[in-house]
Amino acid sequence: MGTFKSPDRPASVLHRLVGIKDTEPPITDQEYELYQRFVSSIGYGPPDITGRVSYPKRVKRRTRAAVRQFVSDPGLPRLIEMLERAKAQAIAEEQRREQEKQAGEALAEQRRQQEKLAAIEAFHDNQLSELEFRVGEFQHLIGRTSIEEATLRMAQDSQSDWTKNKRALNMKLATQGDPRSAMVLGPLASFENTLYDNSSALKVAAGMERFAIRRSLVSMTEAERATLRMADVLAAVGQLETNDHYRIAVPIVWNGGDCAYDFDQGTEFRQRNAMLEVLKQLLAASLGTSAGAREYLNQAVRAALDEARGLAQHQRQIIERYLFSGNRWMSEAEGQRALARGDLSASALRIGGFPGSSGELLYDLRESLITIAPSGSGKSQAHVLRNLLYMKAPAVVLDIKGEMSAASRQWREHERELGKTYVFAPREPESSFHYNPLDDIGTDPDQAWEDARTVADLMFKPTAKTRDDAYFEGRARDLLTTALLDVALAQKGAKRTMASVLELLYTSEDEKVIAWCNRLEKRKSTQLKLQASALRGMPPKQRESLLDTARRHVEIWQSPSVLKVTGDTTFNAASVREENATVYLKVTLEDVERYASVLRVLVGQLLFKLYRVQPESDAPLVTFFLDELPRLGRLDVIEQSLDMGRGYGVRLWLFCQNLGQLQTAYPNAQGMMSNCAIRCFMNPDEDSARWLSENLGTRHGLLDGTRKPLVEAHQLTGPEFANQVIVFSRGQLPARLDKKPAFADPVCKSRIAGEGEPEQSTGATSSSGTLDTAAPVDEAQSASANPVDWDEVRSAAPASLLSAAAPAARNSFSWQFIGAGLATLLVVAGLIAWLASQGSEINALRADKASLGAALEAAERAKQSLDREKASWMESVRNSELARSKVHEEAESARKVLALEQKDHVATRERLASVQRELEAEKARAAARAAPPAPQAALVP
C-alpha cells in the first residue's frame, strides 16, 4: 500500500505563543494511511456510491475530529477494500487495452513491413524491372552552388558560334573609343551578357530537373543488384533515410553515364551534349561511383546492426537475411504465396513459424512431406499433434506412445466439421477397433491369390541381408501366401482368421503337412495346387526352415491381444475419406518393431483401399502421419504412394530419426526424399549437418566480398538452431523456421483441454498462420477473477458513510428550482460580462484595423516611391542604351570616314611616289645632257 506520512503535526511553539492550541490530537500516520487509501480509490467506484460518501476533503488542524470520526468507522475498511479492488480492475483493464492497442499497432506495422518486403521481392525477382530517377529528386544532395555553376557552364558551353561572336563583339565595342564612354558601356555590356547567361542557365536548370536516368536490373552485376536490394530492405525497416538511399541507388543507376536517359522535350541538342558532359563530372564529384555506393551501404549496414542501436530482433533477422547475395533464406512474404495459394483448404498443414513474426509457413499442396529429426526434438509436438489440432481433414496417424490420440482425439471427435475417430490399440483390445486382414482377400479363386500375396507382402518385414536370406524369405512368403489363400477360400466366419493361418504354419509333422498338401490339391485354385506340389517335394529340413522363417515373421499374430483385435472387422478402411475420419494406430515405442507386421498390414491396406477408387477433384486429402516409419521396415506401397498418391488424394508425411535410419530400410532413400515436396530437418547430427550445409548452398557477402556456406555445419548442430526447423521445398528457397509445439500454442492448448476457442483480440488466425496474443498481466487476471459486487456494497455499506439522497417532493417547492434560477442568473451575468468584454475586444480590433490601415497606406506610399525609383532607373538605362547606340553610330561613321581618308592617303602616296620617280628620271636626263663629250681616240695608221 505504500508508506503514508501524516501532514498534520502538533502545534509548534509559535502556534502556542499566538494562542493556537491542540484541542484534538493530531492525525496519526496510521489514520492518515487509511484516509489516503480511501481518497486514492474513491474515483474508481460507481457515481451513485462515490457521490453519496461524505468525508472531509483535507487533513488539517480544523478537520481532525471529522477525519478521525471518518477513519474510525467500522465499515470503512470493507469499503476501501472494494474500492481498491475496483481500482486494480480499472488499472488492469487500462493495461489490457493499452497492450491490445500496442499489439494492434505492432501487427499493423508488421503487415505494412511485410507488404513492403513483398513488393521489394517482386520488383527484384523480375530481371526486367527498371529503376528511374529524375535529377530533381536528388539535386539537393549535389548542392545549390554546384547546380548553379553547372547549369551556367552548360548554358555557356551550349551557345552557338553566332551567340559567342556577338558577345565578343559586344564587349569589344563597349571597351573601344572614348575612355569615358568605355567606363560606362563596359559594365553595361558585361551586365547584358550576365543577364543573358543567367536566363539561359535557368532554362537549362529547368530541363535538368526533368532529366531522367534509367537502368534495368538485367544490365547490372550481381553485386549491384544485391546492393540495391539491401538498400531497399534497410529503407523498408526504417534503417535508411531517403537521402542515404539516393546516395546508394543513383550512382549505380547512373553507372558513369552508361545508362538509359530521357531529356526534357524542350532541351536543345547543344544543351543535351553539354548536360551529359557536365553531369558526368557533377555526379561523380557529388555522389560518387557505384563502388562508393556499395561502401556507403556497408557503412549503413554496420550502423544498423550495431548493438548500441537497439535494433529489434525480427528487423535484425530481416537485414541479415538479405545481407548476402547467392542463396538465402525464404522470406515470410515468399512463404505466404509459395506453398499455400489462394484460400486455405481444410487439409492445410503448418510447418513452422518465421522467426520474429507471428506468420507461419503453410503447406496446402497434394505432394508428400518428410521430417528427419532425432528423438526428443519435438517433431511430434510441432508437426503431428499441432496439425491434428488444426487440420479439419481426414488423417491416419501412426501414434507412437499414444500421445497424439490422447491430446487430439477429443477435439477431433467433437469438431462439427470432422467425422468419427477410430483407435487401433493391440494392448487395449476393449477400446480398439477390430480388423481382420483376411477380410481383404476375396473368394474368387482367380483373384484371391493376388489379394493374399498383397497381405503376405505386408506381413513380411524384410530382414534379408544376403542372397540366400532373400531366397528363403521369398519362399517363406510364398508359404504364407498359400496359408492365407487356403484359409480365405476354405474357412468362413470365426475360422476365417489369422488363428487358422497360424495353425497351418505351425504344422511340423510330415503326415499333417502331406495332408495339408492333399487338401490344397483339391482346391479350385491353380496357385494352391502348384504350391502343394512344391511343398510336397521339398526335403523335410528345407520345408521346416521355410516354415520357421514364415513363423518368425508372423509371430506377433499369435499374441492373445492381437488375436482379439483381428478376429473380425469393425472398421471400414474405404470410408475414411467419406466420413472425414481420423484413424489412430496406437502402440508404445518399444512395441513398434514387435507389432510391425500388424501395423504394416493396416497402413498398407488403408492405402490400397484409398487407391481403388478415383476420388473427385475437390475431395479432401487424406494425410498419413507415419512416425518412426523406418521401424516398420521397407513398404513398397510407401514408395509407390510418394509417386502416385497425389492423384488419389493421398498425402504422406514421413518421420524418421536420421538419414541413415531411412537408408537402412529403403535403399532408394534419396529418391524418396526427392519425391517429397517438403523436407524438414530438426537438430541434425554431424553427418546430416554436413549434408545440409552443402545442400543449402553458398552466399556472397556484401561486406567482406567472400563466399561461404549459408550455414556452417557446426551452427546447425549448435544452440542457434536448437529450436528451429530447416525446410527444403521444391522450387523454392530454403526456409529457416521456429518450432511451434502444440503446448505453446493457445489454440492447441484450449482444444487439448476441451475448452472453447481462446479469445484473441488481434484475430486468431491469418493467411500466414496463427497469431499468438500476449497473455494478460497477473494483476488483470487476479482482478478479473474476483470482480466487485457493487450491489453488495450498496446493501452492506453503513449508513454513517453513505448519505441517502433526499427524495424530491411532488407538490412542494424544490431547492432544485432555486438552484436552476441562480444558475440562470449566473449565466445571464456571465453573458453580460462576456458582451462587455467582447465590446472592449471589438474596440481593440478596430484600433488594430486602423493601425493596419495606416501601415497599409505607408506600404503603398513606399511601393509608389519604389516604383518611381524603378522608373527613373529604367529611364537611366534607356538613356544609357540610347547614348550607347549614338556612340555606336558615331563610331561607325568615324570608321567609315577613316576608311575613306585611308583610301585617299594611299592614292596620294601613290601619286607622290609617281611624281618622285618622274623627278628622278628628269634629274638623270639633265645630268646626262650637262656632261662634256668624251675625247675621241687617235687613229693608228
* CA count, 13 A, side-chain hemisphere, 389: 33
**All residues at 6 or more sequence positions from 614 whose CB lies less than 8 Å from its CB, including other chains:** 647, 648
Average pLDDT over residues 90-105: 88
Confidence tier at 809 by pLDDT (50, 70, 90): very low
First-to-last alpha carbon distance for the chain, in angstroms, is 178
Is the pLDDT at 542 greater than 90? The verdict is: no
Strands, sheet with 324-326, edge to edge from the N-terminal-most edge strand: 324-326, 698-701, 707-709
Is the pLDDT at 610 greater than 80? The verdict is: yes
Average pLDDT over residues 650-670: 93
Is the pLDDT at 602 greater than 50? The verdict is: yes
Q: Residue 47's pLDDT is what?
A: 80
H helix and E strand count, the chain = 36, 19
State the burial class of residue 123 (Cβ atoms within 10 Å of its Cβ: 0-12, 13-18, 19+): middle
DSSP of 485-534? HHHHHH--GGGSSHHHHHHHHT--SHHHHHHHHHHHHTSS-HHHHHHHHH
pLDDT digits 0-9 by tens, 114-133: 888 888 888 988 888 999 99
Is the pLDDT at 526 greater than 90? The verdict is: no
Ranges 197-211, 344-358, 402-416, 502-516: which has the least confidence = 197-211
Is the pLDDT at 14 greater than 60? The verdict is: yes
Q: How far apart are CA 678 and CA 730, in angstroms?
A: 7
Ranges 191-205, 226-240, 459-473, most confident: 226-240
584, 405 contact by CB (below 8 A): yes
Is the pLDDT at 134 greater than 50? The verdict is: yes
335, 361 contact by CB (below 8 A): yes
Q: Residue 172's pLDDT is what?
A: 63
Nearest Cα to Cα of residue 611 among 569, 581, 640 = 640
Residue linked to cell 487356403: 486
Tell me how many degrees the CA angle 86-91-93 measures, rounded to the nearest 5.
Answer: 90
Residue linked to cell 532408394: 668
Q: Residue 21's pLDDT is what?
A: 67
Q: Residue 810's pLDDT is what?
A: 38
Q: How far apart are CA 922 and CA 918, in angstroms?
A: 6
pLDDT digits 0-9 by tens, 269-313: 777 777 888 888 888 888 888 888 888 888 888 888 887 777 777
Q: Residue 627's pLDDT is what?
A: 94
Q: How far apart are CA 640 and CA 457, in angstroms?
A: 14
Q: How far apart are CA 318 and CA 736, in angstroms?
A: 12
Ranges 100-109, 310-319, 350-359: which has the least confidence = 310-319
**All residues at 6 or more sequence positions from 550 whose CB lies less than 8 Å from its CB, including other chains:** 476, 477, 479, 480, 483, 505
DSSP of 405-424? HHHHHHHHHH-TTS--EEEE
Q: Residue 770's pLDDT is what?
A: 36
Q: What are phi and psi of 309, to 5 degrees?
A: -75, -20
Q: At what angle do helices 135-142 and 179-209 cross, to 10 degrees?
A: 130
Average pLDDT over residues 543-557: 90
Nearest Cα to Cα of residue 376 among 685, 836, 84 = 685
214, 261 contact by CB (below 8 A): yes
Confidence tier at 9 by pLDDT (50, 70, 90): low
Q: How far apart are CA 625 and CA 651, in angstroms?
A: 9
Average pLDDT of the chain to the nearest whole number: 82
Q: Residue 922's pLDDT is what?
A: 85
Q: Residue 201's pLDDT is what?
A: 74
pTM above 0.75, yes or no: no
Is the pLDDT at 814 greater than 60? The verdict is: no
Q: How far apart are CA 534 and CA 538, in angstroms?
A: 6
Is the pLDDT at 199 greater than 60? The verdict is: yes
Residue with more model confidence, 388 or 772: 388
Confidence tier at 768 by pLDDT (50, 70, 90): very low
Q: How far apart are CA 223 and CA 703, in angstroms?
A: 11
Nearest Cα to Cα of residue 144 among 209, 211, 240 = 209
State the burial class of residue 650 (Cβ atoms within 10 Å of its Cβ: 0-12, 13-18, 19+): buried
Average pLDDT over residues 654-674: 92
Is the pLDDT at 181 greater than 80? The verdict is: no
Ranges 93-97, 132-136, 432-436, 571-575, most confident: 432-436
Is the pLDDT at 432 greater than 90? The verdict is: yes
Average pLDDT over residues 403-422: 91
Q: Residue 352's pLDDT is what?
A: 94
Q: Residue 819's pLDDT is what?
A: 63
Average pLDDT over residues 563-589: 92
Residue with more model confidence, 800 or 718: 718
Confidence tier at 705 by pLDDT (50, 70, 90): low
Q: How far apart are CA 108 and CA 102, in angstroms?
A: 10
The H-or-E segment that residue 679 falls in is strand 678-682
Residue with more model confidence, 593 or 899: 593
Q: How far apart are CA 72 and CA 729, in angstroms?
A: 75
User: Where does 739-897 show beta strands of DSSP type E?
Assistant: 765-766, 769-770
Cβ count within 10 A of residue 163: 13
650, 367 contact by CB (below 8 A): no
Q: What are phi and psi of 708, to 5 degrees?
A: -150, 165
Confidence tier at 735 by pLDDT (50, 70, 90): very high
Residue with more model confidence, 510 or 216: 216
698, 710 contact by CB (below 8 A): yes
Percent pLDDT > 70 in the chain is: 84
Average pLDDT over residues 912-928: 85
Residue with more model confidence, 188 or 115: 115
Ranges 383-392, 430-439, 609-618, 724-733: which has the least confidence = 609-618
Confidence tier at 760 by pLDDT (50, 70, 90): very low
In DSSP terms, 681 is beta-bridged to: 372, 726
155, 204 contact by CB (below 8 A): yes
Is the pLDDT at 823 greater than 90? The verdict is: no
Three cell numbers, residue 326: 547467392
Residue with more model confidence, 799 or 390: 390
The H-or-E segment that residue 746 falls in is helix 746-752
691, 723 contact by CB (below 8 A): no
